[in-house]
Homo-oligomer: A and B are copies of this chain.
């Protein structure tokens, strides 16, 4: 009913018998304003449920206090980034909210880079969090050229300067492999994501380190790669079983591929984990509910999200470039 009559700081100013500037300063807790005046203005604002106008403030301050979460457009296919992205978004959202930033979501076409200009040059967002699983480099390049602030989930290219948060992939690969070795497995396979991805190379490195330390040889017949999709996981598993029928364990680079791999193993008439043990990666929510429940490497996803948010904001405010890697841990369930 009662159409709100006090919508702007000018309204408050009139009520308080002061000027707009004073109200603005009071609400921003400027030391220039006397305590009494501040108190009066604040209580007026509270009383009238005053909410400051965001576009005006943004125009005036030349910043949007909004961060874009950039992810690929969803396609039919079920890819890692989907579930993983959702879980990480929760962490990002809370990290941003605590610093009073808003979260905008952009679904981009993998081949298009116009989006960067459209969001940055228009002042709609102050920075980006890149989660595009594929073609990340193209987007990184676009953002660097624009000189736009951003942070990525993943390992940064060697010579470039930008923020990143990533899991400790070497340790992840090592933990998974060591667990399988401890369980007495002899022929341990590796199913990776695309071999050009640094994360995948690191996980492979961890796998090889663990084997070497146990005095084992690296057997390339035990190594296969997929593209993180579940079908590719099943296919890689089949190829592996073909090449190395004596395999008794496999470390798979994602929970989704691992779950598909377990199906493939069963279809060939083997049991998980008795005949072939399986370790996944990510500890997505579904890992606990797969059949059998998946032993996997947990990345602390809420933490990752929070760090992506905070470190990007830190960069916006101070220009400090951070590259952090978060710890991983082994979660033992039934599959290995």
Interface membership of A15, Cβ < 8 A:
no
**Complex CA–CA separation, A90 to B53 (angstroms):** 29
The residues in A between 269 and 328 inclusive whose CB is less than 8 angstroms from any CB of B are 285-286, 288-291
Task: Find chain B residues with CB under 8 A from A51 CB.
Answer: 117-118, 121-122
CB distance from A249 to the nearest CB of B (A): 20
Q: Given A90-B73, A105-B93, are A117 and B49 neighbors across the interface (CB < 8 Å)? A: yes
Interface assignment of A85: CB less than 8 Å from any CB of chain B: yes
**Contact (Cβ within 8 A) B102 A107:** no
Residues of chain B with a CB closer than 8 A to A118's CB? 51
* A104-B103, A263-B291 as given contacts; A94 in contact with B73, CB under 8 Å: yes
Q: Do B78 and A105 have beta carbons less than 8 Å apart?
A: no
Which of A23-31, A56-64, A170-178 has 4 or more CB atoms under 8 Å from chain B? A56-64
CB interface residues, A 170-210, toward B, < 8 Å: none
The residue on B at minimum CB distance from A115 is: B97
Cα A87 to Cα B49 with chains together (Å): 36
Q: How far is the CA of A121 from the CA of B66 in the complex (A)?
A: 17
Q: Are B49 and A55 in contact (CB under 8 A)?
A: no
Interface 1/0 per residue, A112-129 and B, CB below 8 Å: 000001100111100000
Query: Which residues of B have CB within 8 Å of A290?
Result: 291
Residues in B with CB closer than 8 Å to A329 are none
Q: How far is the CB of A122 from chain B (nearest CB, A)?
A: 4
Verify A230–B103 contact, CB threshold 8 A. Answer: no
Q: Does A86 contact B (CB under 8 A)?
A: yes
Contact pick for A105, options B64, B89, B107, B263, CB 8 Å: B89
Q: Could you tell me if B123 and A54 are in contact, using CB atoms closer than 8 angstroms?
A: yes
Is A259 interfacial (CB-CB < 8 Å)? yes
Which residues from chain B contact A97 at a C-beta distance below 8 Å? 107
Chain B min CB distance to A125 (Å): 9
Residue of B nearest to A284 (CB): B78
Establish whether residues B54 and A124, one from each chain, have CB atoms under 8 Å apart when the complex forms.
yes
A64: which B residues are within 8 A, CB to CB? 54-55
In chain A, residues 55-108, which have Cβ atoms closer than 8 Å to a Cβ of chain B? 55-56, 58-59, 64, 66, 69, 73-74, 78, 82-83, 85-87, 89-90, 93-94, 97, 102-107
B291 touches A291 (CB 8 A): yes
The distance from the CB of A97 to the nearest CB of chain B, in whole angstroms, is 7
* 5 A-B residue pairings within 8 Å (CB atoms): A51-B121, A55-B123, A55-B124, A73-B90, A73-B94
15 further interface pairs, Cβ-Cβ under 8 Å (given A78-B289, A291-B291): A7-B121, A49-B117, A54-B122, A55-B56, A55-B123, A69-B105, A73-B90, A78-B285, A78-B288, A82-B86, A103-B106, A230-B289, A259-B289, A263-B289, A263-B291
